[in-house]
Amino acid sequence: MSYKRVLILGFLVFTVLAFASSAMADGAPVTIVFNGGYAFASGGYGIPPYQGTMNGVSEQFFCVDFKHDIVAGQSWKATVTSLTNATGVAQNTYLGSQTEYLEFAWLIGLMMSAEKAKDWTDAAAYQAMIWSFTGGPAAAIPTADWYPSWFTGQGWEILTPTVVGSGQEFLVQTPEPSILLLFGTGLVLIGVILKKRSAQNRAY
């Protein structure tokens, strides 16, 4: 593949990723569709991440809402709120507490690490902790500020149904701007290397 094609492909991928991230600005309405997929089952419940789409783009969702049921194929409108926006969290979400959503995001990270290690018991336990905030199965509830002090929730968004009960409230993780910048820089470097190799080959 020529360096020009690499740069063009890289630009297109970078643009798509950047657009997907920027499309989730605070207060933006999005359409969520749950396709019925989940990581594994435990105790009669599907354990996240759930599979579906947001505005037509494939996405993984983390459920923080035990009160409302959803079924495969269900869709609903939701409002996006950045977890770092304390005022927005207080005004736009079901629980209205940034501290609790920070705990959710931290527990989701622990749950995903357990799933990666195929430790299904611990993964289910972390999800039970999250659901216990909204009437789910009994579980140990973390105390306030249970998450590390350095954890700010950067890169996490809350998706709250615009109509209560029309769907579930989810957390989603979005690409960090620094990651997008690193990705774009890497593609440019690959293009430069390929260009130099092409020039060297022509010299011989």
Specify the pTM.
0.76
Would the pLDDT of 93 be above 50? yes
Would the pLDDT of 17 be above 90? no
**Number of other residues whose CB lies within 10 A of the CB of residue 105:** 24
How many degrees, rounded to 5, is the angle at CA 48 between CA 77 and CA 122? Answer: 150
As to burial, measured by CB atoms within 10 angstroms (0-12 exposed, 13-18 middle, 19+ buried), residue 49 is: buried
Would the pLDDT of 9 be above 60? no
- Average the pLDDT over each of 60-74, 111-125, 165-179 and give the range with the smallest value: 165-179
Q: Where are the domains of the chain?
A: 25-173
What pLDDT was estimated at residue 203?
A: 57
- Average the pLDDT over each of 19-33, 70-84, 96-110, 185-199 and give the range with the smallest value: 185-199
